[in-house]
Amino acid sequence: MSGGANQYLVDPLQRFGTTVFAQMSALAIKTQSINLGQGFPDTDGPSEVLEAAVSAIHSGKYNQYPPGIGHPELRHAVAEHQKRFWGLDFDPDAEVLITAGATEALTAAILALVGPDDEVVTFEPYYDSYAAAIAMTPGRRKVVTLRAPDYSFDPAELAAAFGERTKVLLFNSPHNPTGKVFAQAEIELIAKLCVEHDVIAVTDEVYEHLVFDDNVHLPLALQPGMAERTVTISSGGKTLSVTGWKIGWACAKPELLKAVQTAKQYLTFVSGGPFQPAVALGLGLGDDFFAGLAADLQAKRDKLCEELTAAGFEVNVPQGTYFVTADIRPLGFDDGIEFCLGLPQRCGVVAVPCQVFYDNPEAGAHMVRFAACKQDDVLDEAMRRLAALKS
């Protein structure tokens, strides 16, 4: 999916081309298909949050560069949020850094921490920016496979991935694209390996509030020995349904955070001034807002799973996130890329092939990802169209 070679682009970035999300969204527009590819909601977030951004612009107080570490009200709101929901303690003035989305926080952390020959352990399938960020360093990635259909991993394989050169564990839960929410025993094992091998964990928790049924989000930083070696990252995009605002944060002990900030300040320096107080307001909304967000999305997940099953897919029911992954083999296909490239022509729907998120594509070649974060009538129409695949 990366497109052809580019004569100007440096070798380490050649394989990255255009992101699968941008490609698939462009394909949806070109073919006027329903876009269940790129993960973004098709309804706006809470109106008081939107209004707060508008007021911030008109107040004349937020239209110039924010402080390098972010506006104080957002840093305080992030620290309060971490305490309120997860019991994590961060000093808003020394342990919270505001970034241009989680993406910048992740990239800054990787750039700050990964040196020559250092290794970054991560699970595959992995969010696409991880491989690109690691490719911008002199280090390399080492992947451990989450195996469909249940996306479990082999503890021995994980233990074997940690070695002398392991500097960072890059860890995402709730996990994109699989929808897996890592369980207590898995989190404990991961933390134990980080402590034993003196590894820094960089955690991507952007779906922290999108968790279903009786699953629970467990921040890695809460595990014994992890608070001092974890950079906890998230953003307001999913929680507040404002993915275009790109307000994120990294939280860590002061010296570790300072390292991330050093890299971050030369990426964007600062960003999104007027959105910062609005996200601060959003993080302080009542419990009913956060519970309602998860409940709404869970209902959409149920709907999408049911409809995909009826259309003939073998569905993995996700524990969290925006996404549902499904096996295309019962429909007579085995290559997700081919399937997704043909889907708009065949029935006017766009999905994302999971194999682009693997180093070992055969592990996910038969899986495709659909976004559930759409209005019910959009999901219904997509499913009406997908039903045609069976005939």
Chain positions contacting ligand PMP, by CB under 6 A? 39, 101-103, 127, 172, 176, 204, 206, 235, 237, 243, 246, 248
Q: Smaller CB distance to ligand PMP: residue 172 or 316?
A: 172
DSSP one-letter code for 196 = H
> Which among ligand PMP, ligand GLN, none contacts residue 125 (Cβ within 5 to 8 A by kind)?
none
Residue 39 lies near ligand GLN (rule: CB under 6 A): yes
Inter-axis angle of helices 101-113 and 128-135, nearest 10: 40
User: Where does 262-364 show beta strands of DSSP type E?
Assistant: 314-316, 323-327, 349-350, 352-353
- In degrees, to the nearest 5, what angle opens at C-alpha 121 toward C-alphas 116 and 122? 130
Among 23, 38, 178, 234, which residue interacts with ligand GLN (rule: CB under 6 A)?
38
Report the candidate in 38, 372, 46, 51 with the shortest Cα–Cα distance to residue 241: 46
> Which among ligand GLN, ligand PMP, none contacts residue 102 (Cβ within 5 to 8 A by kind)?
ligand PMP
Residue 19 lies near ligand GLN (rule: CB under 6 A): yes
Q: Smaller CB distance to ligand GLN: residue 136 or 387?
A: 136
Complete DSSP assignment for 357-382: G-SSGGGTTTEEEEE--S-HHHHHHH
Q: Smaller CB distance to ligand GLN: residue 153 or 323?
A: 323
As measured in angstroms, the least distance from the Cβ of 257 to ligand PMP is 18
Instruction: Annotate 91-117 with b (16+ C-beta within 10 A) or e (fewer).
Output: ebeebbbbbbbbbbbbbbbbbbbbeee
Cα separations in angstroms, 91 against 155, 174, 220, 238, 260: 34, 25, 18, 24, 16
Q: Smaller CB distance to ligand GLN: residue 126 or 162?
A: 126
Q: Smaller CB distance to ligand PMP: residue 166 or 321?
A: 321
Closest residue to bound ligand PMP by CB: 101
Q: Smaller CB distance to ligand GLN: residue 100 or 161?
A: 100
Residue 298 lies near ligand GLN (rule: CB under 6 A): no
- In degrees, to the nearest 5, what angle opens at C-alpha 173 toward C-alphas 336 and 240? 95
Residue 176 lies near ligand GLN (rule: CB under 6 A): yes
d(C-alpha 317, C-alpha 302), whole Å: 8
As measured in angstroms, the least distance from the Cβ of 322 to ligand PMP is 8
As measured in angstroms, the least distance from the Cβ of 323 to ligand GLN is 7
Query: Ramachandran region of residue 311, left (φ > 0), alpha (ψ -120 to 50) or beta?
Result: alpha
As measured in angstroms, the least distance from the Cβ of 108 to ligand PMP is 12
> Which among ligand GLN, ligand PMP, none contacts residue 319 (Cβ within 5 to 8 A by kind)?
none
Q: Which residues bind ligand GLN (CB under 6 A)?
A: 19, 21, 38-39, 176
